[in-house]
Amino acid sequence: MSTKDFIEKDYYKVLGVPRDATEAEIKKAYRKLARENHPDANEGDAKAEERFKNVSEAYDVLGDAKRRKEYDEARALFGNGGFRQGPGGGGQFNFDLGDLFGGGPGQQPGGGAGAPGGAAGGFGGGLGDVFGGLFNRGGPGATRTQPRRGQDVESEVTLSFTEAVSGATVPLRMSSSAACKSCSGTGDKNGTPRVCSTCVGTGQVSRGGGGGFSLTDPCVDCRGRGLIAQDPCDACRGSGRATSSRTMQVRIPPGVDDGQRIRLRGKGAPGERGGPHGDLYVVVHVDEHPLFGRRGDNLTLTVPVTFPEAALGGEIKVPTLGGPPVTLKLPPGTPGGRTMRARGKGAVRKDGTRGDLLVTIEIAVPREMGDAARKALTEYRAAAEGEDPRAGLFEAAKGD
């Protein structure tokens, strides 16, 4: 059951009863029409079937005192089969949207200047019921006033290398669009915008797409809001939206990489009319670490070793990021540039496991040496004479 149905369909006419018919009269009329048009009694008669549907639909509303009241009020508000013309023409209405916007300007009898008498005055507190009753029921014509999901918001954050690897909770200052406080989101100085006549308050306009389906576009006249300010609010210039900035603590999961865009569900702008929050997207920048590097899930580290350590082998202790050092066993004859792996000492993966720490060995050459060391090294040179590491280079250089 949509608003459009309420506006377009004359259920009293369908049942053939006057507007002031009693409950008993409505029931009687319905029973008679239902019996006459019942599909069982009119097999293969498509028109009877259609009538039966319409009669059932009409009774669904008029047969229920509460829904009949809503229907009557909606039609009084929107007119019968279209908009009732106000004195200013254009088929526009003024009414108090206090209830609709919740915590708004409250009951303002009569609305703004030039209000066509009756429409607003007659409703007062009843309007909330009308909208609540009609719009919460769903249906294609009711999208505008249904809860609407908040906007997605994008932000940026710069993390230290360690924070990126281990995860961190960081304060994030964000500006987002929220309902304007001055006008309670109505966009109107007096809190009395009129319903857009172009889209009948739905905020959407459908155009035939051919092939039996239609496409909907946001309404141009009201920019998809369904409402138009009569006396635009100074604070928001009639948009009903204001920029608000807030700081919130955001949990960045471990293992994020520089340039990564992460999505935090439900941390975006608040929804409208009780709709859910949008999502927050955070683009992460990661500072470099003076020591460690990053290659996917793995951390990298270059470790200097002495020539004797590399040549003779031995155990070396290397630091890890945020944990105790690990000891690596260098096999005798380890060349410079070799990479060794410390398992599970890398960055945290999505599944909670960790990558590895890739340790690249670099042969450190002492800048200065003590006499004893120099003497020993000179002796070593003499002992190792005849070993030429460049022997193969010249032959290879001549090759094709």
* Nearer of residues 181 and 317 to Zn ion, judged by Cβ: 181
Stretch that binds Zn ion, among 118-126, 235-243, 277-285, 295-303 (CB under 5 A): 235-243
* Nearer of residues 199 and 301 to Zn ion, judged by Cβ: 199
* Nearer of residues 198 and 302 to Zn ion, judged by Cβ: 198
Residue among 216, 233, 6 nearest 97 (CA):
233
Residue among 204, 208, 235 nearest 221 (CA):
204
Check residue 236 for interaction with Zn ion (CB under 5 A). Answer: yes
Q: Rounded distance, CA 100 to CA 141, Å?
A: 17
User: Is 247 part of any known ligand binding site?
Assistant: no
Q: In the structure encoding, which two tokens stand for residue 237, read together?
A: 């210039």
Nearest distance from C-beta of residue 8 to Zn ion, angstroms: 17
Q: Rounded distance, CA 262 to CA 256, Å?
A: 8
User: Is 333 part of any known ligand binding site?
Assistant: no
Nearest distance from C-beta of residue 342 to Zn ion, angstroms: 60
Residue among 94, 103, 99 nearest 121 (CA):
94
Check residue 221 for interaction with Zn ion (CB under 5 A). Answer: yes
User: Is 233 part of any known ligand binding site?
Assistant: yes
User: Is 199 part of any known ligand binding site?
Assistant: yes
Check residue 231 for interaction with Zn ion (CB under 5 A). Answer: no
User: Is 200 part of any known ligand binding site?
Assistant: no
Residues paired with residue 208 on neighbouring β-strands, in sequence order: 214
Nearest distance from C-beta of residue 225 to Zn ion, angstroms: 7
* Contact of 252 with 284, CB cutoff 8 Å: yes
Check residue 222 for interaction with Zn ion (CB under 5 A). Answer: yes
* Contact of 379 with 372, CB cutoff 8 Å: no
Check residue 269 for interaction with Zn ion (CB under 5 A). Answer: no
Residue among 273, 284, 96, 265 nearest 190 (CA):
96
In sequence order, which residues have a C-beta less than 8 Å from that of residue 290 and are 6 or more positions away? none
Q: In the structure encoding, which two tokens stand for residue 127, read together?
A: 């309007």
Q: Rounded distance, CA 83 to CA 200, Å?
A: 9
Residues binding Zn ion: what is the number (CB under 5 A)?
12
Check residue 62 for interaction with Zn ion (CB under 5 A). Answer: no
Q: Which of 14, 134, 174, 219 binds Zn ion (CB under 5 A)?
A: 219
Strand order from edge to edge, sheet including 261-264: 153-159, 280-286, 261-264
* Nearer of residues 82 and 325 to Zn ion, judged by Cβ: 82
User: Is 236 part of any known ligand binding site?
Assistant: yes
* Nearer of residues 180 and 301 to Zn ion, judged by Cβ: 180
Check residue 377 for interaction with Zn ion (CB under 5 A). Answer: no
Site string for Zn ion, 163-202 (x = CB under 5 A): -----------------x-xx------------x-xx---
Check residue 360 for interaction with Zn ion (CB under 5 A). Answer: no
Amino acid letter, 278: G
Residue among 142, 132, 242 nearest 186 (CA):
242
Residue 130, H or E segment: helix 126-135
> Can you say which residues are annotated as belonging to the binding site for Zn(2+)?
180, 183, 196, 199, 219, 222, 233, 236
Binding site for Zn ion (CB under 5 A): 180, 182-183, 196, 198-199, 219, 221-222, 233, 235-236
> Can you say which residues are annotated as belonging to the binding site?
180, 183, 196, 199, 219, 222, 233, 236
